[in-house]
Structure 1
Amino acid sequence: MKKSAYLVDVHWLFEHLEDPNCVIIDTRFSLSQPQQGYEQYQTGHIPGAYYLDLNQDLSSSVEAHGGRHPLPNWNAFVDKLNQLGIHSKNPPGPTQIVIYDDSRFAFSARLWWMLRYLGHEQVAILDGGIQAWKSAGFALSKDIPKPKTGPEKGNFVARPQPDWVVDIETVRQQKDRPDAVVIDSRSPERWRGEIEPIDPIAGSIPGSVNSFWQDISTEEGRLKSADKLATHWSRFDLQPETIVYCGSGVTACVNLFSLAAAGHQMYKLYPGGWSDWCSYLTENAPETN
């Protein structure tokens, strides 16, 4: 079976490098070394690719609540998209966007979800990421494209899907309903509360089930086949009110991406994730699974 319409392979991308209506975006990032992604981009990236940073471009400022990677200010984000020359309207759009990273969709899926949330459907992720590009023998570039200005700017128009996002109050209200399921995308050990390398309290949202985000891809960073995705997601009692979360709304998007690739509807993201949930708890009385 074909994997998904949401993916492109390196050969397709190579053939479209000169396509003026195709915009490539590099989203490589390291949670432990936030500058690493951009440094890698400067060292070498797919020709013509722009760079968007998880902290600077795909998130807003961290506050007491809301998680470690709150969704960005949408007006500022749309302005950034226009600087990349991304169009919603004809002519010349809608622009085909191709996103890549080097982390099994961890960061590319966040941008994929954000673009879909804003109503842009012509967006795909590069299967296998930059590793697949290099393995195929294609060249990298150090040339950094300049932001578009004046008439070259895009005409991106946001059409948000507010029902795709839930906050902590909605999760609290729905997590025990029979027509709802809450999926934790973190590692099984973090979900069980055995370890917590990032947030101050270990645990998970009570009643949640676990689907580790890396389970939908191969070690080489390729999306598993449609058959394997169908088998994977058949283990879960998916409901109309399915809510997906992780630590901070990043790798949860990998599961949302794979669900869409497997033919499911776009389920809901709890972007604050465990980092938001545990910010309301005390270390003396953590509410865990």
Structure 2
Amino acid sequence: MKKKWLSILLCGAMVAVVATGCASKTSSQKPGDKPSAEISDVKAVDQKKVFVPANWVKSVIDGKQKESENYIIIEASWGKAEEDKAYTKAHIPGAVHLNTDEIEEDKYWNIRTGEEIAKVMKTYGVTKDTNVIIYGGDSGATRVAFVFLWAGVENVKVLDGGLDAWTKAGYATKDGIETAKATTKDFGLKVPAHPEYVLSIDEVKDKLANNKNFRLVSVRSIDEFEGKKSGYSYIKRAGEPKGAVWGHDETDYRNEDGTFINFDKAAAMWAEQGITKNNDIAFYCGTGWRATIPWLMAYQNGWTNVKLYDGGWFVWQMDEKNPVQAITPQEAAAKYK
């Protein structure tokens, strides 16, 4: 019951609510609501801008951006390349597959050690100066993007809308498997270069107890937050860490065409729950995938007060001494208003 089960459960939930990534052809954005990653005339983008459109990625491949000189495109998802039918059937030309098992240990699904991640970087030919473009059909792509930033890669992008956005733009795909080219170069920094991006369970407990400005933000479904279900076949207990507030689920961060919502809309969702830019924020979910979406959004928009509680509900519920809540988002947010 590894990530495959998580992927099945998440995909099932997403299909039940909205069609994302590789399905819907209709945008839910209102007229005049500029997509979060829209870039006119395929101009250059800031290094901290994470979400980018398909035409920008194509311009990199065509040699029209500064990133064109040193880049890698990664399709990130759970499982080996030969088992990933979506990748072997159609991927962006030049894209290599990265199995999320390579960046997560297999007990709690937390990020592997800095030494292990440094080896992954070498395997994929990545140094801190490599321009990394990542895409995928679910939040596995944002999970990998987060890990690369945590490691110290200075320019990490996520294709907004995934492969569906690429094909809808009329760009060609390739089948089969492409192999990453390893490098002998040093990464250039000690991995992780940004350990401050991640909070441990002990740090979360301390902040909940002693920091009134701290917000532990759950990025899980409403039924998960209210304790009606655990959300995972391998997690028996339901509920949330006591003191958590609701940051909405992954589906709420996506338009119907699979692209990500405008940041102003995300910030408004958080504000309704008593979460603002002035808070000390840690996003979490079940095992660390979904929570990377709002983290990347906040990072891209200059919020420096955001962390990822990597252990999530999975680690929290393992110790029955850890306090748990099963309340509504309104009840959770009331204490902060």
Q: TM-score range by the shorter chain?
A: 0.7 to 0.9
Q: How many residues align?
A: 269
Alignment deviations for residues 99-118 of structure 1 (CA, whole Å, 9 cap, x no partner): 10112xx1111111111112
Cα-Cα RMSD: 2.5
Among candidates 257, 276, 281, match of residue 315 of structure 2: 276
The SS at the match of 1:171 is helix
Change (3 A) 1:232 1:287: closer
Mark the runs of 5 or more structure 2 residues left unpaired by the alignment: 1-33, 38-48, 63-67, 327-337
Alignment deviations for residues 122-144 of structure 1 (CA, whole Å, 9 cap, x no partner): 01100111111111221211243
The residue type equivalent to 1:237 in the other structure is I
Deviates more, 1:191-200 or 1:181-190: 191-200
The residue type equivalent to 1:207 in the other structure is G
2:241 and 2:313 in contact (8 A); partners too: yes
Q: For the residues of structure 1 that align with 2:203 and 2:85, how far apart are their CA atoms?
A: 39
The residue type equivalent to 2:313 in the other structure is W
2:200 and 2:310 in contact (8 A); partners too: yes
The SS at the match of 2:216 is strand
Q: TM-score, normalized by length of structure 1?
A: 0.84
Q: For the residues of structure 2 that align with 1:58 and 1:127, how far apart are their CA atoms?
A: 22
The SS at the match of 1:249 is coil
Among candidates 199, 224, 229, match of residue 195 of structure 1: 229
Q: For the residues of structure 2 that align with 1:136 and 1:37, how far apart are their CA atoms?
A: 27
1:137 matched to 2:170? The reply is yes
- After TM superposition, the structure 1 = structure 2 runs for residues 1-289 of structure 1, keeping only pairs within 5 Å, are 3=36, 5-17=49-61, 19-29=68-78, 38-54=84-100, 56-62=101-107, 67=108, 69-88=109-128, 94-103=129-138, 106-149=139-182, 152-157=183-188, 158-176=191-209, 177-198=211-232, 199-212=235-248, 213-235=250-272, 236-238=274-276, 239-281=278-320, 287-289=324-326
Alignment deviations for residues 48-67 of structure 1 (CA, whole Å, 9 cap, x no partner): 1111112x2120121xxxx3
Q: For the residues of structure 2 that align with 1:130 and 1:164, how far apart are their CA atoms?
A: 28
Q: Shift of the alpha carbon at 1:263? A: 3.1
Alignment deviations for residues 212-245 of structure 1 (CA, whole Å, 9 cap, x no partner): 2332221222121233234333333335431211
The SS at the match of 2:72 is strand
Q: For the residues of structure 2 that align with 1:144 and 1:205, how far apart are their CA atoms?
A: 42
Mark the runs of 5 or more structure 1 residues left unpaired by the alignment: 89-93
1:230 and 1:262 in contact (8 A); partners too: no
The match for 2:8 is none
The match for 1:91 is none
Following TM superposition, the consecutive aligned residue runs of length 4 or more in structure 1 with deviations greater than 4 angstroms are 34-37
